[in-house]
Structure 1
Amino acid sequence: MLRYGVEPRRLPRKVLEAEIDIIRQLGAEFRMRTLVGEHVSLEELRTDFDAVFVAVGELRADDAEQLGLSAPAGRLRADPATFQTEVQGVFAGGDAIGRRKSAVRSVAHGHGAAVAIDQYLTGRPLTGTGRPFTTRMGRLDEEELRRLVALASPEPRASPAGRTLAGEDAPGLSDAQAHSEAARCLHCDCRKAESCKLRRYAALYAANPKRHGDQRRRLELHAGRGQVIYEPGKCIDCGLCVQITARAGEALGLTFVGRGFDVRVAVPFGRELDQALQKVAAECVRACPTGALAFKMNRASQ
């Protein structure tokens, strides 16, 4: 589908071939010109393999019957959390279980099914990926919006020169231009959403973000001229960054200011963040469990 359904300018063939090679090197076997239900039955596949994933795209009227699966309204019936069909060990996703509005949602089905299949093959309870803990700050006021927009890149927009509508070698943005354009992202999301320990434990202990109504911390952003940004609203006062800067002998470092419920981590004497983190900025970012300290641009080290 990717080869014939996506234009080369959007998905260069070299990239596609490289991805296919990775899958092949992992041990996958590709059997071309083989119709399931005609050349091989689902029962034969179930006999030869411990689990089967059906990703056949949108079904025709007789496809489900040939597969031996239930498909009311032309869609295979599958558990929405685990993607397992009514037949044990047979999973399905993508347009086969419901029309997707975008290919990336079908890819997400594949990921979810892979997690469930791994659980099935290893004898664990079949639960699927589960939903990660998610909370939203809500609508920002004018002052908060000004703080957010102040981080926007002042550089003019870059546009690719000479882009054509066809051809694999159509020019695009240079590496420098792509980096500059990526820097425009204001990160309305969280820079460390995938590694946030607070989020992980919130999901583990079923925290309810609506418990305290509309109460929330105000959006504060301290960026300075360096590469690190500090969001006090995400800080849980664990003190790891304070310990790291003290151990490294930072001239200013980070410290606790305030008293009682107003205690928070800050730079002493109201100085800038980049002045406080001269030596161990990257170490502080890696240690921060919630993303209160993060790089302005995403890095693998986060």
Structure 2
Amino acid sequence: MPATLGYICSAPCEGACKRKDIDEPVAICLLKRFCGTDGEMPVTKTEMTGKSALVIGAGPAGLAAAWHLQTSAIQTTLTDKNSTPGGTLWNSVKENTLPKEILEKEIQFILSAGITLKKETDISETELEALRRDFDCIIIATGENGNDFGLETTKQGIVVNRETFETSEPGIFATGSVTRKTKLAIAALAQGKRAAKAAYQYLVGENITGETTRFNSKMGRLMKEEVSEYLSESVEYTRVNSTAEKGFTADEVRKEAARCMHCDCRDKEDCLLRKYSDEYSASQRAYDKGEREPIVKHMQHGEIIYEPAKCIKCGICVQLTAKHKERYGMTFIGRGFDVKIGVPFGKDPGEGLEKIAREVVDACPVGALTVK
């Protein structure tokens, strides 16, 4: 629900934006609002697995759970005791924080995936037992002070496994504020997604682990000497002020998005170091050597960027440039633990990779060499 979140989210992501250490964070919420309001994302229908799920409660957690199950080929029925789905999100409409038509549009988009909605349906504990025979699994997302259906509870709500959202009853999951009060809509949506992942694993007979967190190597705060390096991929003006009532215009979106300094990894989905770190449960803390080296970005090449701090010294680029007889190519510089890979004779990547820059980028197993 990008447009809805673009209006009501307290933007914890902007608190993590490294641009804030220079002036102000990138306006992620307003960018998300524009994408959700003016962008379009088609719903891809997939062949169903034959499994079915019931989601009780159509607030943010329930909507998210239903969406992710349905788009994972699980035929999903969503029920709510109210006449309109959306739950506590309607409080923002009443407070004039969120336009009614935005919320309605995003709810309809979720339902358009093929979800069966049953409104004004208040399910009792007895009815739940009967419904367990009709559905292959059930997710309870009835919100704060919602029905606990006789499941194990504490004063906070239904007791669940915090990773998988499983309850004390097999095949029944619970998520959102019915398990623990959740103030942020983004947190409720995330919990609904995670519960749906675990429920899917249960339905298809996989080991129920929930949504696993991938390995991340965190760099911490920017050093003073790194500011100019990151601004070299960005712009120096401060945060753009929106002029339209609904948020950014298209021109303002382009201008604000240009403030991003690309401090993430450009190869995060295909990085082999990340893949094997996940596989072998590597921990960045186990190899913490204290102060890290400053990050330098070599951008002299017209097509690619080289970030030596991300290099694992595998030597693939050295072999390729030698094989294709680049004039300077890449080579090992230094010895032992201080060895680095770079262009010899003080040359830059623009001179070192004149013939096969793209091939070297494709062969790099991490995000050290990437396309601009």
Q: Normalising TM by the smaller chain, what interval?
A: 0.7 to 0.9
The normalised TM-score by structure 1 is 0.76
Between 230-239 and 216-225, the greater mean CA deviation after superposition: 216-225
Q: 1:80 to 1:258 in 2, by over 3 A?
A: same
Q: CA distance change for structure 1 residues 106 and 195 in 2, over 3 Å: closer, same or farther?
A: farther
Letter in 2 for 1:17: K
In structure 2, the CA distance between the partners of 1:249 and 1:43, relative to structure 1 (3 Å rule), is: farther
Alpha-carbon distance between aligned partners in 2 of 1:34 and 1:294, rounded to the nearest angstrom: 53
Q: Out of 44, 52, 58, which is 2:144 matched to?
A: 58
Letter in 1 for 2:297: H
TM alignment of 1:90-169, pairs within 5 A = 90-138=172-220, 141-149=223-231, 151-155=233-237, 157-161=239-243, 163-164=244-245
Residues paired across the two proteins, number: 283
Over residues 226-283 of structure 1, what are the superposed CA-to-partner deviations in whole Å (9 max), with x where a residue is unaligned? 4643221211123444456667776655444334444333234433434545666555
Equivalent-residue separation in structure 2 for 1:220 and 1:83 (angstroms): 40
CA contact (8 A) 1:217 1:233 kept: no
User: Aligned to 1:45, which of 131, 134, 138?
Assistant: 131
Contact residue 219 and residue 231 of structure 1 kept, 8 A: no
Does the 8 Å CA contact 1:100/1:106 hold for their aligned counterparts? yes
Tell me what 1:300 maps to: none
Alpha-carbon separation, structure 2, partners of 1:54 and 1:14 = 26
Structure 1, unmatched stretches of 5+, are: 165-169, 297-302
Q: Distance in 2 between matches of 1:131 and 1:5?
A: 32
Query: 1:184 and 1:267, CA in 2 relative to 1: closer, same or farther beyond 3 A?
Result: farther
Q: Give runs of aligned pairs for residues 202-241 of structure 1, distance below 5 A.
A: 202-215=277-290, 217-224=292-299, 226=302, 228-241=304-317
How far apart, CA to CA, are the structure 1 residues paired with 2:358 and 2:91?
A: 42
Q: Do the aligned partners of residues 201 and 253 (structure 1) sit closer, same or farther apart at CA in structure 2, a change above 3 Å counting?
A: same
1:76 counterpart residue number: 158
For 2:231 and 2:247, the matched residues in 1 are separated by 31
Aligned mates of 1:278, 1:94 — CA distance in 2: 54
Contact 1:222 1:273 (C-alpha < 8 Å) held by counterparts: no
Q: 1:158 to 1:144 in 2, by over 3 A?
A: closer
Higher mean displacement: 239-248 or 101-110: 239-248
1:179 to 250, 254, 257: 254
Name the SS of the counterpart of 1:294 in structure 2.
strand
Of the structure 1 ranges 222-231 and 70-79, higher mean CA displacement relative to structure 2 is found in 222-231
Q: TM-score, normalised by structure 2?
A: 0.63
Rounded Cα–Cα distance in structure 2 between residues aligned with 1:198 and 1:57: 40
- Tell me: CA distance 1:126–1:156, structure 2 relative to 1, closer, same or farther (3 Å): closer
Root mean square deviation, CA, Å: 3.5
AA in 2 matched with 1:234: K
Offset from partner CA, 1:142-162 (integer Å, 9 cap, x none): 43455445554135653322x
**Which of the numbers 88, 108, 115 marks the counterpart of 1:28?**
115
| Residues 257 and 264, structure 1, Cα contact 8 Å, conserved in 2 | yes
Between 101-110 and 238-247, the greater mean CA deviation after superposition: 238-247
Matched letter for residue 209 of structure 2 = T
- 1:285 CA displacement: 4.3
Amino acid at match of 2:123: V
**Distance in 2 between residues matched to 1:127 and 1:112, nearest whole Å:** 10
Using CA pairs below 8 Å that are at least 6 residues apart, which structure has the higher relative contact order?
Answer: 2
Residue 366 of structure 2: aligned partner = 290
